Amino acid sequence: MSKEPRTTQDWLALPEDKLGRALGEALTPGPWKHDLLPEHPTIGMPSCCSKCREVSPICGPCPAPDPIDIKDWNVAMAWRDKADKTNFLSALELVWDNIRPGYFSWCNVAMDSQPEHYLIAAALAVERKEE
């Protein structure tokens, strides 16, 4: 898990290429397993982890989580369903208050949300549950 809880603004400010990994860290408890690439057949390079790039990790957990697909609605809905409902809905409202201040309505959320908004709300709900 992250050492410090992130604010809604912190989550929304993350670039897409870092958001999936950060959500993986927040939503999936460690320790994580290494994802070893096969040894290179022609030059005989030893295998390494595709996530942390450690060469031939023998033991110990991987320091990098599996990234979460931030464009997949099925993934977003699965994490929504795992989160505490009250915390999730409050967090989703916070996300929208930061995206469009003063423009919040559940109709807008239903029509304009993207999977990453639901995933950020799930991560915020998990952080609230731990408090």
What pLDDT digit, counting tens, does each position of 106-118 carry? 887 878 889 999 9
Task: Give me the helices (H) in 1-131, please.
Answer: 8-13, 16-27, 73-82, 85-99, 106-112, 115-130
The helix (run of H) or strand (run of E) holding residue 83 is none
Distance CA 111, CA 125 (A): 21
113 contacts: CB under 8 Å, gap ≥ 6: 92, 96
pTM of the model: 0.80
Domain boundaries, the chain: 1-30+65-131, 31-64
| pLDDT, tens digit, 9 for 90 and up, residues 70-108 | 999 999 999 999 999 999 999 999 999 898 887 778 887
Count of other CB atoms within 10 angstroms of residue 80: 19
